């Protein structure tokens, strides 16, 4: 079965969405404290771009294994190069938990195109591309901290953590030939 092609105009209520979680060191002097079960620290939901909180669309009606396989190497790549942290997996919820009252936040599809000359997977697919990217815009009335608390609350309600698959060891930079082929393919359609 082919990889799911998400609707580029809207995120349906039954879709499953995930927020990437990256490893972070705990408070140095508080190593003896007990981490509460089935909760997320709010730093996982703090915005990293202007006024938007990024999400991945993980499947149409459940977490789709193929989508997860597509996102896994890209998430590891982002973790290593952008965040300098280890990618752990996703906090998962259904889109309607974010979109429906009392929360009523819009999730907008925002796929990310591949960067020319960027790194590729073993199959020659771009690691900088993300067909399943979406985001929640932070309303003006809320501070980034408030939004982070709200999103952490939503994702904790029906707590579901989707583990990351181990990072693939072989990630290589796109060579000139692969880049040329991809460019020709994009020109033809």
Partner 1 sequence: MVKATAQAYSDIWFRQPISEFIFEFPAAPAQHQIATQSLPSDQKLGELTGPVVIAAKWISIIQRRIKQSVADFPADPNQEGLLDSDIATYAVCFFNAVSDVLPAKEPYLYTSNKGDLVAEFAGRHGKLTSIVGKAAVNSFAIIDGRMLKTTLSYPLDKIKARRELMRITNQL
Residues at the interface with partner 1 (CB under 8 A):
24-30, 32-36, 39, 41-43, 46, 48, 102-103, 143, 145-146, 149-150, 153
Closer of 45 and 70 to partner 1 (Cβ): 45
Bridge partners of 58, per DSSP, are none
**Shortest Å, Cβ 91 to partner 1:** 15
- Nearest Cα neighbor of 71 from 50, 95, 92, 42 is 92
Closer of 86 and 125 to partner 1 (Cβ): 86
Q: Cα-atom radius of gyration of the chain, to the nearest Å? A: 17
**Shortest Å, Cβ 19 to partner 1:** 14
**Shortest Å, Cβ 43 to partner 1:** 5
Closer of 48 and 173 to partner 1 (Cβ): 48
Closer of 87 and 132 to partner 1 (Cβ): 87
| 117: CB partners within 8 A, 6+ apart | 173, 174, 179
**Shortest Å, Cβ 30 to partner 1:** 4
Tell me the three state secondary structure of residue 157.
helix
Cα distances (angstroms) measured from residue 182 to each of 30, 88, 109, 168, 188: 50, 30, 24, 22, 10
């Amino acid at each position: 079965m082919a990889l799911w092609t998400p609707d580029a105009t809207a995120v349906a209520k039954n879709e499953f969405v995930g927020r990437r979680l990256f490893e972070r060191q705990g408070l140095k002097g508080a190593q003896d404290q007990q981490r509460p079960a089935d909760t997320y620290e709010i730093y996982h939901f703090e915005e990293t771009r202007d006024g938007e909180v990024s999400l991945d669309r993980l499947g149409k009606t459940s977490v789709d294994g193929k989508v997860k396989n597509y996102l896994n190497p890209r998430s590891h790549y982002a973790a290593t190069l952008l965040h300098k942290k280890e990618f752990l997996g996703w906090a998962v919820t259904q889109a309607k938990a974010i979109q429906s009252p009392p929360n009523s936040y819009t999730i907008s599809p925002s796929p990310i195109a591949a960067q020319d000359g960027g790194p590729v997977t073993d199959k020659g697919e771009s690691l900088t591309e993300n067909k399943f990217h979406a985001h929640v815009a932070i309303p003006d009335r809320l501070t980034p901290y408030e939004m982070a608390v709200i999103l952490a609350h939503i994702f904790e309600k029906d707590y579901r953590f989707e583990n990351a698959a181990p990072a693939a060891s072989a990630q290589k930079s796109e060579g000139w030939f692969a880049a040329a082929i991809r460019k020709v393919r994009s020109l033809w359609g």
